[in-house]
Each structure stands twice: as C-alpha cells, then as structure tokens.
Homo-oligomer: A and B are copies of this chain.
C-alpha cells in the first residue's frame, strides 16, 4: 500500500470531518495506520499536508466546472454554469464547507490563507475562459483580470451573501436575468 496515499486519504477525511485546527497529527497517523513520524517523511509539517489536500480540492472543483460546460455553447451560458457550480461547491464539498465554517467561527489563519487561494484560483480560471472567448472573437477585448474579478464577486454576492440579509435565497433565473442583461451583454463583441 502506498503510505503517502494512505496519509493523504486519512488527512482528507479528518480535515473534512473536524476542520484544520481540530485535526491532530496523531489522529491522522492513527487513521492512516502509520506512525506519526512517517507523516513527516512525506510532508514537512501540518500546513503542507493541509495544502496538499486543498490542492486536491481545487482540482476536483476545476474538473466539475469543466464538466458542466458545453462545447460550442455561448460564453455566457458556460460561464454561468461554471461559476454556479464552483459556488455550489461551498455547500456540496464537505471539506470546503467545513473550512468556510471554520474561517467564520475560529478565523484559523491557515484556513483563511487557503480559502483565499481557492478564490484566487477561481478568478484566474474565469480570467482564462474570458481570454479564450476573446481569442475566439466571441467577446470584445477588455480588462480580463478585472472583469474576471467582478464576475466572481458578483456571483459570490448574489449566491452566497444575498441569503444572509434576505429571508429567501435568490432564484437562479433572477440571477441569470440580471447578469445576462447587464455584465454579460456588454462583454459580447
């Protein structure tokens, strides 16, 4: 059995269940059926082990975002589907949800850093898709970094923030109607 893999799986399980702070290296070692010292032959410390797990999370999210896109479909439709899927990940993915909760409740610095890294990854992913659409001649050239940032923040606000201050969650059609008529329309060539 690949010891490194055992450790990764044990860590993923523990981080997902208990969060970063409440996961102990002894615990991971026990779950992985491995001596504690062994973990340190593969990962130099707890934070690096954590980062390795989060890297997996990012790849899974990317894969799902790619999966919902339809080859040949308009930019708006794919961008919407991708962003919605990535934002749903915040509730869907056990580790992601746990980390968001820990960030809110405990403000664990390592968790804040990692959540920021995930958001940066999303923005850079969106930026990449915008650039491809521009190259294809579907969108007009623009400040891609800033447009990607705006799109992400807009979706995040509408999907994750709106519900906190209103007693009903925003319907997806209302989001589409809003952004289709505003941001997306103006990006078209």
A182 within 8 A of B: yes
A183 within 8 A of B: yes
Other-chain residue from B150, B153, B186 in contact with A185 (beta carbon distance below 8 A): B186
In the complex, per-residue mask of A173-184: 1 if CB is within 8 Å of any chain B CB, else 0: 010011001110
Query: With A153-B157, A186-B185 as given contacts, are A178 and B120 in contact (CB-CB < 8 Å)?
Result: no
Residues in B with CB closer than 8 Å to A147 are 178, 182
A5 within 8 A of B: no
A31 within 8 A of B: no
In the complex, per-residue mask of A120-151: 1 if CB is within 8 Å of any chain B CB, else 0: 10000000000000000000001100110110
State the majority secondary structure of interface residues on A.
Answer: helix
Contact B182 A162 (CB under 8 A): no
Min CB–CB distance A107 → chain B (angstroms): 9
Contact A182 B150 (CB under 8 A): yes
Please measure, in the bound complex, the distance between the C-alpha atom of A150 and the C-alpha atom of B170, giving whole angstroms: 12
Residues in B with CB closer than 8 Å to A165 are 116, 119-120
Contact B174 A146 (CB under 8 A): yes
Contact B150 A154 (CB under 8 A): yes
Min CB–CB distance A141 → chain B (angstroms): 11
Residues in B with CB closer than 8 Å to A150 are 154, 157-158, 178, 182
Residues in B with CB closer than 8 Å to A174 are 143, 146
Residues in B with CB closer than 8 Å to A170 are 146
4 additional A-B residue pairs with CB within 8 Å, beyond A143-B178, A182-B182: A116-B165, A142-B181, A147-B178, A182-B183
